[in-house]
A = this chain, B = another copy of it.
C-alpha cells in the first residue's frame, strides 16, 4: 500500500466549510489524514491555537481516519519526521495557484521528493470562502452560517465576546 499518511496543513483561523470539504475528500484517499495546525505562521491569527484546534476537533468528529495535530518549523521537516507520503492542498483560483506552485516546488526540494504535493480543486460553491473574509464579515455582524461547519458557527457565536 502506497498512500498511507497525508498532511493537510494551515492556520485554520477558523476552519471553513471549504476546508472541511477538502478534509472529507482527502480522508477518502489515505489511511490517515493529519490536519496540521501551523503554530508559527507569519499570519497573525484571531483565534488562539487552542480555539482553532477545538473548532477543528468538533468539525472533523465522525470522519474516519482524521487526526488533528499542530506543529512549528518547516512543513517539510514535519512531513519527513512523521512519514507523511503526501501533502494535500486545496486550489481555489489563479492567485492560489501561483503561490501553491512555489510552495510545492520548494517542499519537493526540501523533502528530497519524499513527500508529494497533491492538489484538490475546491468545490465551486466554496470558491469565494476564505478564513480572512469570513472573519471580516463575522465581526462586522454579517451572516456566515453555511460558510463554516455548523458546529464551528455555534462555537464562534458563543465565543464572540471572549475572542474579540
Contact = CB atoms under 8 A, between A and B. Distances in A.
A103 to B, nearest CB: 8
Contact of A118 (B98, B100, B106, B120): B120
Nearest to A128: B105
Interface stretch (A8-16, A54-62, A140-148, A156-164): A140-148
Interface of A is mostly: mixed
A51 interface: no
A95 to B, nearest CB: 5
A121 B124 contact: no
B130 A102 contact: yes
20 contacts: A1-B31, A2-B29, A2-B31, A3-B30, A29-B85, A29-B86, A42-B136, A74-B142, A76-B142, A91-B101, A91-B119, A93-B101, A95-B95, A101-B121, A109-B128, A118-B118, A119-B121, A124-B125, A124-B128, A127-B127
What are the 10 A-B residue pairs with the smallest beta carbon separation, nearest first? A105-B128, A119-B119, A124-B124, A102-B128, A104-B121, A3-B3, A74-B140, A1-B1, A95-B98, A124-B127
